[in-house]
A and B are shown apart, each in its own frame.
Chain A
Amino acid sequence: MTYIPISPKERDAMLETIGVKSLDDLFEAVPAKHRFPKLNLPPALTEMEAMNELSGLAQSNENVRSDLISFLGAGMYNHYIPSVVDHILRRGEFYTAYTPYQPEISQGTLQAIFEYQSLMAVLTGMDVSNASHYDGATATAEAVNLAYAQFRGKRKKVVISPTVHPQYRAVIRTYAQGMDLELAGDNANADLDSQPDELESMLDVNTSLVIVQYPDFFGRVYDYTKLIEAAHAKGALVCIVANPTALALFKTPGSMGADVVVGDGQPLGIPMWYGGPSVGFFTTRKNYVHKMAGRLVGETVDNHGQRAYVLTLTAREQHIKRERATSNICTNQGLIALGTAVYLSLLGKKGLRQVAELCYQKAHYAAQQLSQIDGMGLCFTEPFFHEFALCVNRPVAEVNAHLLEHGILGGYDLGQDYPALKDHMLVAVTEMNSKEDIDTLVQVLSEVSHD
């Protein structure tokens, strides 16, 4: 009876109105031999006991705020989250509302999503944004769906840079299983130094979409303008998977000519939360709005002449189009998208640029210091943002175990995904890392190199 506000007396009165004798009598349609199974679950906890148990579990983790100094990124980043963000997300008016299908009593959610769409369009330099997808990986897979639909399934090739996040590429492979698509370029043994030019040679008139990451998985920043021109010359679309913090500093994918820009919004004020939920942003050009999956909020007026917002172009979606819909998606990451909008409105024009520059400065200081350690060095020479590949010349697992003993969460082991990058670590540095943190990392790694 934990959260059930009905007294036994009220229950009996209700049963009488219904015309049955007991609660059990309501379930006669259920096959008798399987009815009322005995569930083998632990007995109920009170709130106090539950809080103790959950606190115990949480405390048995080592977290990156009080236990560990983190240099781990690879798709999820430790950034500062201003207090206001969670205060807004804790408003019951936002988090206990449903999808805004009744616009008269959902203008809070609708206007907030409309503003989120606007913020993402500004950040990426694109015309329009949808109301969001599950995460960066599934948003990228939805770009494949868009391109597939745009060419009515006739162009059967998607060119993917091997320097797109390995898990994003894995998700695309899963999504593409029923689609009769060729995924070119998705090769862990590709020459990682010759990107993105190598992709140009794979383009042909059968190509629907080219996918590249910005900065790429190794943190490198490329201007994709030339690649995009080459893709457009073959009639193909281009999707850029972008880090949103980087977009405060580097030129926009929109200005390079991208057709779709997606990415994970987690760096924008969302806790890492052991991997989710985050939010996948999806922005595109006006021409592709009707092929874009997901919810979309548009401006209108109500019958009092007030500016208002509604879910629009819903005829694209699954509940109307059913099996002919581009995608089956029927949620957006509403509350998380709200979180990113609050974050962006707080940081604003100056704050976000500051965060991006801090990441850049600290990552470059770290790279410079680390590359001076004997036997270590940077793998690549291209400009980078807040992540870089470091050669540590011995198994990364070994190095990270040593770092962990010193309370440092080391970088991602690139050898897991790229055989050529065995003994290479992807180091991420954000505004959360002080000079002291970085100097500690350098010192401990120097010890490793002398062992």
Chain B
Amino acid sequence: MINTAPAPEINKNGKMTPKIVEPTLFDLSSPGRTGVTMPASDVPETALPSQELLRSDLPLPELAEVDVVRHYMHLSKFNYSVDSGYYPLGSCTMKYNPKINEDTARLPGFLFTHPLQPIETVQGNLVLMYQLQEWLKEMAGFAAVTLQPAAGAHGEFTGVLIMRAYHKSRGDTRRTKMLIPDAAHGTNPASVGMMGLQVVTIPSDEHGNVDLKALEAACDDTVVGMMLTNPNTLGLFDEHIERVIELVHGCGGLMYGDGANLNALLGIVRPGDLGFDLMHFNLHKTFSVPHGGGGPGVGPVGVAAHLADFLPEPLVDIVEEGDDETPPLYGFVKPAKSIGRMKAFHGHFGGGFVRSFTYIAMHGPEGLKDIAQYAVLNANYVLARLRNTYRVPFDRICMHEFVAEGRFEGSDVRALDISKRLMDYNFHPPTNYFPLIVHEALMIEPTETENKDTLDAFADAMIKIAEEAKTQPELLHNAPSTTQFGRMDEVKAARELVLCCWLPEGYDLNQ
């Protein structure tokens, strides 16, 4: 499909009037239309408070139900999604999201329970949360798990708070430095920055492992700990992981695992067994909570026994043991030295816990190992197909993803151009420009839910694009050309900063 949008019109002031593909809700509004009618009041009327306390106008759009449905259907067609195609977005684990999750998450018993109901009336919810805590502990080798954090970065923040509280409780107040590899996600240093701690960057060696010499030199009694993603963001399992952990522990630091890449480890190795003291899970990556166009995520944190007392409140536990006739009573407990509360209520129960519980229950121990094995198989297969065409700077057996360079000698084609050109082949681009230690990085994570035909089609397209880069580079520079929308004027967006829809003329927001 070739974009057939007409050229933009120039108005009489010489300014360009953009063509509107889909009007906004406010553009579509027409006074007097209604989408939903609420029932009339069935109670005797009470006068409203004095006028000074009320708002005079509520300029929300006025639309009929069909207007709203069509609007969102039109918008949905502008989106690429896992349900519509291959999404090899490195570090994001864009696997297929089983449909049953959507149904279990919406069972009325889950949808319509209030977080502050007496525990006796929500034992189903509490059993589910307790089981999920137990399963996450078992899969990753930890002594305790909090489900509360709302996303991966929120889990990291929780983890850093726990590490700080642990050292503080021991009177060890000199520790102010967090060791973070140069390949780390930006959230790691940002989480540390929020705590006023200092980041010390540890380089990677020529094999993509943590540079042991640099690590050894950085380890002293001012180290809070180290935050490590393993497999790292190059998709590589650190070959000296036990030595890395030994060095960090040796100086009294704690070892934090960023669980972003846990999909590669299910049934393969438990981070707790390797010596990690704590780790966050990304239920939206590993355990099939859909990404929702940018959230909600779910970021539980698992900890070893010596950190269990510091977990945020509340945790779910058995508060009254059962016997032959009565089941145990599940309820909430507060850990002895808890860092406090990370968000209101108990975490992303419906959207997160129920979906992940369903997913784990349907896999069992063997199925979980399959996930990791096939995720790694698929990544290595694509790597094998592409390594003669794209330079792979750290080339060895990878885990669930790998990073190639999106550049060619003597060509001005960049990773961005390759990414945009992939859209013309109806693929979502890989992650680009991350990790920062690879030039023009293309980070490719196929996940386990793609078949060989799709992987071959993707590899063929990548090889063809490499050829195009040499023979017809303009195809890449101008890509995408077959999508409804082309490349964006990002400078205009940042300079003009239009962050809200046009509102009816004369409307004063502060009225």
Contacts and interface: CB of A to CB of B under 8 A. Distances in A.
14 contacts: A66-B112, A76-B115, A93-B76, A95-B290, A107-B75, A122-B59, A174-B339, A272-B114, A275-B345, A302-B486, A305-B16, A313-B494, A336-B292, A346-B35
A4 B196 CA distance: 44
A435 B41 CA distance: 9
Instruction: Kindly state the interface size class of chain B when it binds its partner.
Output: 35 or more
Contacts of A20: 380, 397
Contact of A76 (B116, B122, B362): B116
Contact of A31 (B43, B103, B241, B361): B241
A361 interface: yes
Given A111-B22, A305-B5, A306-B21, 10 more contacts: A18-B381, A18-B384, A94-B293, A96-B290, A127-B509, A273-B349, A306-B20, A328-B156, A328-B190, A346-B36
Contacts of B268: 27, 30, 35-36
Interface in A307-366: 307-310, 312-313, 317-325, 327-336, 338, 341-342, 344-355, 357-358, 360-362, 364-365
Contact of B135 (A41, A306, A312, A317): A41
Contacts of B346: 274-276
B459 to A, nearest CB: 10
Nearest to A315: B494
A135 B35 CA distance: 27
Contact of A434 (B42, B75, B81): B42
Contact of B72 (A30, A74, A88, A434): A88
Given A42-B361, A104-B487, A137 B69 contact: no
Interface string B481-500: 00111111110111011111
A331 to B, nearest CB: 4
- Which one of A58, A307, A328 has the highest number of Cβ atoms from chain B below 10 Å of its Cβ? A328
Contacts of A318: 153, 186-187, 189-190
Contacts of A167: 341, 344-345
Given A57-B128, A274-B350, A351 B38 contact: yes
Contacts of A248: 55, 58
B499 A54 contact: no
Interface string B72-103: 11011111111110010100101111101011
Interface in B1-43: 3, 5, 7-8, 16, 18-22, 24-26, 29, 33-39, 41-43
Contacts of B55: 125, 247-252, 255
Contacts of B37: 351
A103 B295 contact: no
A177 B296 CA distance: 25
Contacts of A334: 291-296
B175 interface: no
Contact of B190 (A304, A327, A358): A327
A249 B54 contact: yes
A66 B108 contact: yes
Contact of A44 (B106, B366, B452): B366
Contacts of B156: 328
Instruction: Kindly state the interface size class of chain A when it binds its partner.
Output: 35 or more
B61 A88 contact: no
Given A93-B83, A318-B187, A62 B53 contact: no
A223 interface: yes
Contacts of B294: 98-100, 109, 113, 131, 295, 331-332, 334
- Which one of B59, B72, B378, B428 has the highest number of Cβ atoms from chain A below 10 Å of its Cβ? B72
B172 interface: no
Given A75-B344, A104-B488, A223-B53, A3 B96 contact: yes
B124 A57 contact: yes
A209 interface: no
B65 A63 contact: no
B263 interface: no
Interface stretch (B269-277, B301-309, B466-474): B269-277
Contact of A349 (B45, B61, B103, B501): B61
A40 interface: yes
A151 to B, nearest CB: 15
Interface stretch (B249-257, B406-414, B443-451): B443-451
Contacts of A249: 48, 54-55
B115 A274 contact: yes
B357 interface: yes
Interface string A84-116: 101110111111111110111111110111110
Contact of B46 (A137, A346, A360): A360
A303 B3 CA distance: 11
B326 interface: no
B325 to A, nearest CB: 16
Would you list the 9 A-B pairs with minimal beta carbon distance, nearest first?
Answer: A305-B8, A58-B109, A275-B345, A275-B115, A273-B350, A92-B83, A335-B292, A44-B364, A178-B195
A306 B5 contact: yes
Contact of B79 (A97, A321, A360): A97
Contacts of A54: 104, 107, 354, 357-358
A400 B117 CA distance: 10
A381 interface: no
Interface string A30-72: 1100111111111111110011011111111111111010101
A323 B274 contact: no
A145 B191 CA distance: 13
